[in-house]
Amino acid sequence: MKLRLFLLLTILASGSLYVVSQAAPPTPPPNNTGGEFFSPADSLKQFTVPDDLKLEQVLAEPLVKQPIFLNFDERGRMWVINYLQYPYPEGLRILSKDKHHRAVYDKVPLPPPHGDKGDDQITIHEDTDGDGKYDKHSVFLDDLNIASSFVKGRGGVWVLNPPYLLFYPDKNNDDVPDGDPVVHLEGFGLEDTHSVVNSLRWGPDGWLYSSQGSTVSGKVKKPGQKDSEAIQTLGQLIWRYHPEKKIYEIFAEGGGNAFGVEIDDKGRLYSGHNGGNTRGFHYTQGSYYQKGFGKHGPLSNPYAFGYFQAMKHAKVPRFTHNFIIYEAETLPQKYWGHLFGIEPLQGRVVESAVTADGSSYQTEDLQRPVATTDKRFRPVDIKLGPDGAIYFCDMYEHQIAHGQHYSGQVEKGDGRIYRLTAKDAKPLAPFDLGKKSSQELIAVLDHPNRWFRQQALRLFGDRKDASVIPALKQKLFETDGQSALEALWALNLSGGFDEAVAAKSLKHADPFVRAWTIRLLCDDHRVSPEIGQQLIALALTEPHVQVRSQLASSSKRLPADPGLPIAFNLLTRSEDLDDVHIPLILWWSLEKRVNEDRDALLAYFAKPEVWQSPLVEKYILERIMRRFAATGSRNDLLVCAKLLELAPEKSHAEILMSGFETAMKGRSTASFPKELVAAMSKYGGQSISLGLRQGDKEAIQKALKIVADSKADNQKRLDLIQIFGEVKVPACVPVLLDIISNSSDLQMQIAAISALQQYPDDAIGKTVTALYPSMSDDLRSAAQTLLTIRKAWAKDFLQAIDAGKINKTTVPVETARKMTVFSDDDISNLIQKHFGSIAGATTEQMQQQIAAHQKMLLASQAEPDRYAGEKLFQKHCGKCHKLFGDGGEIGPDLTSFKRDDVGRMLVNIVNPSNEIREGFETYLVVTDDGRVVNGFLADQDNNVIVIRSADGQSITVERDNIDEMLPQKKSLMPEGLLDKLSDQEIQDLFSYLRSSQPLP
C-alpha cells in the first residue's frame, strides 16, 4: 500500500469559491453531446439558476478527478470517490466481451492489499473555519481498483470495491485505517464497470443498502461459504446487508440500470432510471420491478406473473439515474419535498413535484434549476449536505456513454463538485456530532435537516448505548409524527426495540411508526403468537394505505401462520383494488406458500367468502390457477381440478380457466388427469382450445370447422389458428393453405402462414411459392419467413426464382442470407447465382459510408422537408419502429432515443449490428424436425420460447423441441437502408428523425 494511504495532505486552498446566481432559462437547453473544454472558473460562468438560489463550485481538479460519489461524515467533512481506474480493472485480462460491453476476465481479483493496485481514491475535504470553502484535503485510501461507494460507521469505513464489500477498521477515527480491510461479502460482478454495485448507504434500520446495475451479475456469499451457498442474481436490484448479523439479502428486484439509492424521511427507498418517461422507481420490500428482460435476464421468480413499473411521469428523454428528495429548510420553502435529479446526458438538474399515487408516488417536472451551456457538464451523483444545500459531482466529460468510455474516450484529469443553495445562505460553522453524548444526540433527532437526523441514527447504531433506551421510549410514545418515527429507529439501533415496545407502537397514532414497527418485527422472519394475532387484526382495520402495503410485504417474510391470515385479511380490503402495489404484493405473498404450505393455502379457498373478494377475483384466481398449471405435474394439475371444484360460481371457474389456458399456451399437453377433465366438465366442459391442445378428436374437428368458416368470429379463428401453430394437427394444413389462397383478410393469411411453419409438409413450400408472385408486400414478407425455415421449402423458393417465376428484386438480401444456414450445395449455388456475395459491407466500408453521409448532412445548405422525411420513415422504418406513437413494434421505439446525435444515428442505421439495443438481440433456433427460426426473443418461460421474426410474427417453440439456440451477432435490421435514398431524401429523413415533436 502506498505511503500516501496514511499521509495527511493538507492543502490550503486559495480561497477561490466560485458562485453563480442568475435567472434560469425559460426552457431547458437542447441535449448536449460534448464540446469545448472550459476551466473550472469559465465553466461556472455558463450556469444559470433561479433568482432565489446560487450555485457554488466547491471543488475542482486537481483536488478531485472523476468524482463519482460523495458523502459527508459526522463532522460535515466531504468524502469523495475519485473513479480514476474506470473503465478497466487493473491487473485483469479480458478474455471476451459481448455486444453490451460485458466482459469475461481471466481471474477474480484478490481483495486489497493482496490484489493489483488501481488508481481509485477516497479523499476527504474539510472546511476548517466555517467560511464555506474546503481548505484541508487528505487521502483516506488509494490503490483501490473500481471502488464505487463507501460509508462510515461501526468503527470504520465500508467500501464497495467489487467483487467485495470491504470494512476498513478505524476505531480511533483518525482517518488512517487500523489495518487491512475485512472482507464481509464477495462475488459482486465486474462485467460492466458502469453498472457495478454502488451507492452504499445506511438505512434507518441499521442495514447497509446498495443498488446493483443492470449489466452485471452476482454470486454473493460470505468468505468461507461454499459456492453453492452463494445468492445468484442477474441484473438490476436493490440489496442490503446487516453488519452485525452478517445477512445479505435482495431487498427488491428489477428497475433501470440502478445507480443511486435515496431514502427519504419516512424510510421509503428510491432509485433512478437510465430510461425515459420517468424519474425513477419507488421500491417496496420483496417486490419485483420492470427490467430489460432480454438483456438483463428474467425475474428470479418465474411465477411472479407481474411486476411494478417506474413511478408515473410525463414523457421525457432519458435519464435521471440518481436523485434526492429535498428534506431540509435551507432552500426556500417552495423547494421542500421536491425531487432533484441529475440528467448527465443533457447536463442539467431537474426539479420535480412528488405526489401520491395510491401507496406509491408519481412525479411532475417543474423546472431545471441548474442548466448550462457547457456541454461537458456531466452530473453523476447528488446528495443533501449538512448545511441543507444540494451537492452534485460532475465528471466533466466530452461524452457520458459507456461504449465510448470503453473505447478509451475518458478524460481522467477533470472533475468538479457543486453546491446549490439559497441565495442568502450562510456557511455552516464547524461541528462534530461524534463529540455529542448519546443523550445530546436525542435532540438532534428533531433537526429540520434530514441529514443531521440520519447521521445521528448512524451514531446510535455505532454506540449501542443502552442508557438512552428509557428516554427514547418516552420520546416514541409521547410525541407524534417525524419525532416519534426517529425515536423508533434510534430505539431499535440502540437495542431497545422488543415485542413489548412493538405491541404498543403498533397502536401508535403515526402511520409510519406502525409501518416501521411491522417491518422491524418481521425482518427476522418470525414473531410471537401474540404479535401475530395483533398483525392479523391490524390487516382488517389499518386505515393508512402505506401501512397496509408494508404489512403485505412483511406477510411474505413470515411463516404461513400468521403470514397467510394477514394476507387474506388484506385481500378483503376492497379499497386497495386499484392500488399500484398492494394487489401484486399480496399475490407474491401467497405464491410463496405454493410448495411448502400448500395445504394451508388451499384451505382458504374452501371458504366461499374468499372467492367473493374483489381483490381475489381480479388478481389472485387467474394467477393461482396459472401457477399450478404452469408446472404441468400431475400433482399440480390435481390442484387445478380442486380449485375448479371449489369455485362457487361459474364466473369464478371462468377466471380459473383463463389462467389455465394462459399456462398451457404454446404447449402440446398430454392427457389431463380424469379429475381435472371432470372438474372442467362441471361448467360445460373444457373449451375447444384446451381440447385442441389435448388432442381431443371432437375439439379438433370443431376447431377445423370454425377456422374454415369465413363467417365465423375472426378473433376466434385467429386464436385457433395460433394453436394450430403450437400443437401438431396435420389435418389443418389444407385448411390453412386454403386461407392463404382464397382469403382477403391479410391478418388471417399471415396467421395461417405463421402456423404452417411447424409442419414439415412439402406441399406447404410448393403452394406458398406458387402463390408468392400474386401476394401483397406484407404477405410476401410473412411468406419469406416461412420459406426460409426448412431446406425443402427454401430450395423450392430459389428454384422458382431461377425459373423466372419469382422476381428476385422482391426478395431482400437478408432473406437470402437466412437460407445460407442450410448445408446444401444446390441452395448455395442458387444464392450465389442470383444474389452474389451476401456477406454484407465490411466495417471499414460502413465507416466510410458513415463519414460521407455525416459530411453531406453537415455541409448541406438546402432546407430539408420534414413532411417528406415522415413519409420516408413510414416507408422504410415504420414497419418495425415507432416514433411519436406511430409505427410497428418489432424494433425499439425511437421516441425516447437521442435522435439529435447525427453521428450515433448514422452508426445505428448504416451498421445496425454495431450496437444492438437491449431486448432486441437476435437468436437462431433449430428444432428437432429441421425448422430454422430467426428473430428476437420476445418471451420465454421454463417450457417454451417465443421468437418474433422480422415480419412481426410470433413463433412459439417448445424447449423440448429445440436442437440448438444460438445468439446471432447480426441485427434483424437490414443494412444498406440509406443506399436506396438520394442525398436529399437522406436529409429529409434525418430532419424528421431529429424532430422533438410530431409534425402538425
What does the H/E/C string look like for 40-78?
A: HHHHHCCEECCCCEEEEEEEECCCCCCEEEEEECCCCCE
What is the tens place of the pLDDT at every residue in 962-977? 888 877 776 767 777 8
Q: At what angle do helices 674-681 and 634-646 cross, to 10 degrees?
A: 20
The sign of the dihedral angle between the CA atoms of 290, 293, 299, 303 is positive
DSSP tag of 933: E
- Please tell me whether the overall predicted TM-score, pTM, comes out greater than 0.85 for this model: no
The answer as to whether 770 is a domain residue is no
The sign of the dihedral angle between the CA atoms of 72, 74, 77, 82 is negative
**Cα radius of gyration rounded to whole Å, the chain:** 31
Q: What's the confidence (pLDDT) of residue 680?
A: 85
Contact 288, 299 (CB under 8 A): yes
Place of cell 408519481: 362
The parts of the chain modelled with pLDDT lower than 50 are 1-16, 21-34, 996-997, 1000
Q: Please provide the DSSP assignment of 197-266 as one string.
A: SEEEEE-TTS-EEEEE-TT-EEEEE-TTS-GGGSEEEES-EEEEEETTTTEEEEEEE--SS----EE-TT
| Domain endpoint, select from 686, 705, 721 | 686
The answer as to whether 207 is a domain residue is yes
Q: What's the confidence (pLDDT) of residue 99?
A: 61
Q: What's the confidence (pLDDT) of residue 903?
A: 66
Q: What's the confidence (pLDDT) of residue 13?
A: 37
| Domain endpoint, select from 616, 651, 686 | 686
Domain of residue 933, residue span: 843-993
Q: In total, how many domains does the chain have?
A: 3
The answer as to whether 811 is a domain residue is no
Place of cell 376447431: 703
Alpha helices in 34-177 (DSSP H): 40-44
Output the CA torsion 344→350→356→361 (10° steps): 0
The answer as to whether 74 is a domain residue is yes
Q: What's the confidence (pLDDT) of residue 318?
A: 79
The answer as to whether 597 is a domain residue is no
The sign of the dihedral angle between the CA atoms of 315, 316, 321, 324 is negative
The CA distance from 931 to 939, in Å, is 19
The answer as to whether 107 is a domain residue is yes
Which three-class secondary structure state does DSSP give residue 756?
helix
The answer as to whether 152 is a domain residue is yes
The CA distance from 730 to 224, in Å, is 58
Sheet arrangement for strand 932-940? 954-958, 944-948, 932-940, 922-927, 962-968
Strand partners, 289: 308
Output the CA torsion 727→730→735→739 (10° steps): 60
C-alpha cell at 774: 400474386
| CATH code assigned at 888 | 2.30.30.100
C-alpha pair distances (Å), 7 with each of 177, 598, 969, 971, 984 = 11, 62, 50, 53, 64
| Domain endpoint, select from 422, 447, 470 | 422
The sign of the dihedral angle between the CA atoms of 293, 295, 299, 303 is positive
Alpha helices in 496-559 (DSSP H): 499-505, 511-522, 529-541, 545-557
Strand partners, 209: 201, 240
Contact 518, 535 (CB under 8 A): yes
Q: What's the confidence (pLDDT) of residue 244?
A: 97
C-alpha pair distances (Å), 863 with each of 853, 857, 899, 950, 985 = 16, 11, 18, 34, 12
Which helix or strand (DSSP H or E) is residue 124 part of?
Answer: strand 120-126
Place of cell 425455415: 789
Main-chain dihedrals φ then ψ at residue 593, nearest 5 degrees? -85, -5
The CA distance from 768 to 311, in Å, is 48
C-alpha cell at 471: 428516554
Classify strands 53-60 and 944-948 as parallel, antiparallel or unpaired. Answer: unpaired
Q: Please provide the DSSP assignment of 935-997 as one string.
A: EEEEEE-SSEEEEE-TTS-EEEEEGGGEEEEEEESS-SSPS-GGGGS-HHHHHHHHHHHT-SS
Q: For 624, how many CA atoms within 13 A lie in the half-sphere containing its CB?
A: 31
The sign of the dihedral angle between the CA atoms of 743, 748, 750, 755 is negative
C-alpha pair distances (Å), 962 with each of 99, 676, 797, 971 = 24, 29, 25, 22
The answer as to whether 837 is a domain residue is no
DSSP tag of 91: T
| CATH code assigned at 140 | 2.120.10.30
DSSP tag of 498: -
Query: C-alpha angle 454/456/457, rounded to 5°?
Result: 65
